[in-house]
Amino acid sequence: MRLLSGNEAVALGALRAGVAAAFGYPGTPSTEVLETLAKIGGDSLCCEWSPNEKVALEAAAGASMAGARTLTTMKLVGLNVAADPLMTLSYLGVQGGMVVLVADDPGQHSSQTEQDTRHYARLAKVPILEPADAEEACAVMFRAFEISEKYRCPVIVRTTTCVSHSRCFVEEPEQMERKSVHFEKDVTRWIPIPLWGRKKRIHVEERMKLQADEASSDETWNKILPGNDCSFGIVSSGVTALYCRERFPDHPMLKLAWSFPFPDELLRRFADSADRIIVIEEGDPILEEHIKSLGIPCSGKDLVPRCGELTPDRIEEVKNRILGKDPVPPADIPEASDLPGRPPVLCAGCPHRALFYQLSRFRDIIVCGDIGCYSLGVFPPLNCTDTMLCMGGGFTVAHGIAKSGESRKTVGIVGDSTFFHSGITGLLDVVYNQGNSLLIVADNRSTAMTGHQDHPGTGVTLQGKTTSAASIETIAKACGMERVYVCDPFDADKMQSILKDELSRMDSPALLISRAPCPLHQKKRGIVRSVDPGLCKGCGACLKCGCPAIGTTDGRHPVIDPAACGGCTLCESICRFSAIRPVG
């Protein structure tokens, strides 16, 4: 038995089920699936970070068409990017089993939205399986590949943050043999021109009926758990079902893992076994609305919160509501009422801080940020981001604001991994349509936020092979960007002079690549800095860069924690009195 997280268990299950090719883009809480697979899969497995989720899903589709079992991994919003190929692939179908692992994030621990991927299963008309813990996450992969191959369609396996990041001890399954691979040419199968696409449309509906029947009789994954108290029965799925089972052990429960296509026959059967049906589902009322559409009365979101993670705390609230008990107010602890907040911050030595600090010295600019560590530039004391929309949106939103008639200079910032994900098209747009934004790539040579994954610009693959490193500056020039600067953000003078020039120009766009590697990733520290109390005037300027290594006891005089200092030189460059110096 091994102590595995849900993500690690998905990787182990996929490997043992004979997956031959896996593709994905990093995104919390899904990232460790592919990282684990690359680690345990060996050289015969193809395991790739794709530039984005759409590319990943398309590559997986190709490998599946050729007969290989494939896995694609992404976080919830990644499926928005990959939705286009998924919709059509549902019509085309696959040959080798294809699992699309999507990790949802109820409670938005690290996501901009809380979308419920079950909607996508309905929209794409493909099966969805929802494991409740790591043990199920490993086993469900075998079933998912089986369903995918039986019905020749992609299957979504949906985890949630709690499932992805919780651990339990998992039994290692036997290794299955890989499928033989040969791409069988058949234009009527692989090409959805309307002539053939209309037939596929009908086939998809027929396929869903068969799947609904099979889901109704799949007692391993959709099970009725007995209970003596039939005053109400609970329908639930995923980890929520486990919380409910712990808190309502006496009530019958329908625990669904293969939740779509809806197992109608099973839902009807279960409804007959209890006086009242209560659907306790995290996210949107998808099961509830469907059950009601079958003519079965049930409770659901009238008792269960719609937004946020359904934690045990909130299941307790639901329980009180069901039993008609008064809510229990949380214990009042005055000693904990005035604790200082501890928001996430850019690490000590982070090059993004240097970039934002330099940028924060300019007024009357509009800064459009993006998704990554550098999202933290929005917080005080940097206060240096005005918008954030989606991956790649940094460039394009800046361009749109500039084109709206707004008179202030716009700045669009994306990270290096984000640039390759979906920043290039935005840059192309700004050049092609003669925008005037200053575009900045906050290039720390890594997909840092999700734990330092490689990307097309690093020159290393997920499986550790050396490969060609795409050059951001060359790409920009090829797109027609005329002024391209590369600057180390810790070179304060050069950075200031570039920013000063470019932020005052309104005639044409430019690209600034702010390049310094993530010190956490490099595991290298510069020479630690310290404050000379004799020279320090207590002006507090260095405290304004928000470095976690700089503390103060009186709000004015800094103290640098030598254990935390990254030796990045930013505070030294800020100090006008030369009071901050390298130690030794």
Partner 1 sequence: MTKNILLCGVGGQGVLLAAKLMAFAAFHAGFRVFTNEIHGMAQRGGSVTASVRFGDGEVLAPLFAAGEADLLFAVEHAEALRNARSLKPGGAAVIARQSVIPTTVTTGAAVYPADMEDRIRRVFTRVVYAPCGEEAARLGNPKLANTILLGAAAAFLPEIPRAAWDRAMEALIRPDLIDLNRNAFEKGLAL
Beta bridge partners of 73: 24, 101
| 383 touches 360 (CB < 8 A) | yes
Q: How many C-beta atoms surround the C-beta of residue 250 within 10 A?
A: 10
Interaction between residue 342 and partner 1 (CB under 8 A)? yes
Closest CB to partner 1 among residues 340, 464: 340
Q: Which of 194, 297, 343, 534 binds partner 1 (CB under 8 A)?
A: 343
| 133 touches 239 (CB < 8 A) | yes
| 86 touches 262 (CB < 8 A) | no
Q: How many C-beta atoms surround the C-beta of residue 201 within 10 A?
A: 13
User: Could you tell me where the beta strands, DSSP code E, fall in 451-564?
Assistant: 484-487, 510-515, 529-531, 550-552, 558-560
- Give the containing element (helix H, strand E) for 41: helix 32-41
Stretch that binds partner 1, among 116-124, 211-219, 235-243, 407-415 (CB under 8 A): 235-243
Interaction between residue 538 and partner 1 (CB under 8 A)? no
Q: Which of 193, 327, 336, 464 binds partner 1 (CB under 8 A)?
A: 336
Interaction between residue 372 and partner 1 (CB under 8 A)? no
Interaction between residue 235 and partner 1 (CB under 8 A)? no
Stretch that binds partner 1, among 337-345, 363-371, 506-514, 568-576 (CB under 8 A): 337-345
Stretch that binds partner 1, among 113-121, 159-167, 435-443, 457-465 (CB under 8 A): 159-167
Q: How far is the CB of 69 from partner 1 (least distance, A)?
A: 28
Q: How far is the CB of 558 from partner 1 (least distance, A)?
A: 8
Closest CB to partner 1 among residues 26, 435: 26
Stretch that binds partner 1, among 88-96, 121-129, 188-196, 344-352 (CB under 8 A): 344-352
Site string for partner 1, 550-569 (x = CB under 8 A): xxx--x--------------
User: Which residue, among 274, 287, 263, has the nearest Cα to 227 in the 3D structure?
Assistant: 274
Interaction between residue 543 and partner 1 (CB under 8 A)? yes
Q: How far is the CB of 340 from partner 1 (least distance, A)?
A: 4
Beta bridge partners of 485: 512
Interaction between residue 344 and partner 1 (CB under 8 A)? yes
Q: How far is the CB of 132 from partner 1 (least distance, A)?
A: 8
Total of residues contacting partner 1 (CB under 8 A): 53
Q: Which of 327, 341, 405, 584 binds partner 1 (CB under 8 A)?
A: 341
Q: Which of 47, 102, 239, 413 binds partner 1 (CB under 8 A)?
A: 239
| Letter string b/e over residues 271-283, b meaning 16 or more CB atoms within 10 A of that residue's CB | beebeebbbbbbb
Q: Which of 119, 245, 483, 581 binds partner 1 (CB under 8 A)?
A: 245
Burial of 399 (0-12, 13-18, 19+ CB in 10 A): buried
Q: What are phi and psi of 402, to 5 degrees?
A: -60, -35
Distance CA 306, CA 84 (A): 27
User: Could you tell me where the beta strands, DSSP code E, fall in 370-420?
Assistant: 387-388, 409-415
Closest CB to partner 1 among residues 369, 400: 369
Stretch that binds partner 1, among 56-64, 173-181, 206-214, 339-347 (CB under 8 A): 339-347
Closest CB to partner 1 among residues 4, 512: 4
Stretch that binds partner 1, among 376-384, 437-445, 453-461, 473-481 (CB under 8 A): 376-384
DSSP β-ladder status, 550-552 and 558-560: antiparallel
Distance CA 377, CA 374 (A): 5
User: Which residue, among 53, 165, 122, 32, has the nearest Cα to 390 in the 3D structure?
Assistant: 53
Coil/strand/helix, residue 390: coil
DSSP β-ladder status, 222-225 and 253-256: antiparallel
Closest CB to partner 1 among residues 275, 335: 335
Stretch that binds partner 1, among 44-52, 359-367, 392-400, 538-546 (CB under 8 A): 538-546
Stretch that binds partner 1, among 297-305, 327-335, 455-463, 508-516 (CB under 8 A): 327-335
First to last CA, the chain: 51
Interaction between residue 345 and partner 1 (CB under 8 A)? yes
Q: In what order do the strands lie in the sheet with 233-237?
A: 222-225, 253-256, 233-237, 277-279
Closest CB to partner 1 among residues 132, 574: 132
Distance CA 367, CA 115 (A): 27
Interaction between residue 169 and partner 1 (CB under 8 A)? yes
Closest CB to partner 1 among residues 399, 452: 452
What amino acid is encoded at 222 in this protein? N
- In the region spanning residues 17 to 76, those forming contacts with partner 1, defined by CB under 8 A, are 28-29
Closest CB to partner 1 among residues 174, 335: 335
Place of tokens 């979504």: 156
Q: What angle do CA 81, 85, 88 make, to 5 degrees?
A: 140
Closest CB to partner 1 among residues 149, 309: 309
Instruction: Please give the structure tokens belonging to residue 173.
Output: 């399954």
Stretch that binds partner 1, among 89-97, 199-207, 310-318, 504-512 (CB under 8 A): 310-318
Q: Which of 157, 346, 388, 531 binds partner 1 (CB under 8 A)?
A: 346
- In the region spanning residues 126 to 145, those forming contacts with partner 1, defined by CB under 8 A, are 132-133
Distance CA 254, CA 496 (A): 63
Q: Which residues contact 45 (CB under 8 A, 6 or more apart)?
A: 15, 19, 20, 21, 22, 37, 38
Interaction between residue 313 and partner 1 (CB under 8 A)? yes
Distance CA 583, CA 531 (A): 9
Residues within the interface to partner 1 (CB under 8 A): 1, 3, 28-29, 109-110, 132-133, 161-162, 165-169, 239, 242-243, 245-246, 311-313, 315-316, 330-331, 333, 335-336, 338-347, 373, 376, 380-381, 543-544, 546-548, 550-552, 555
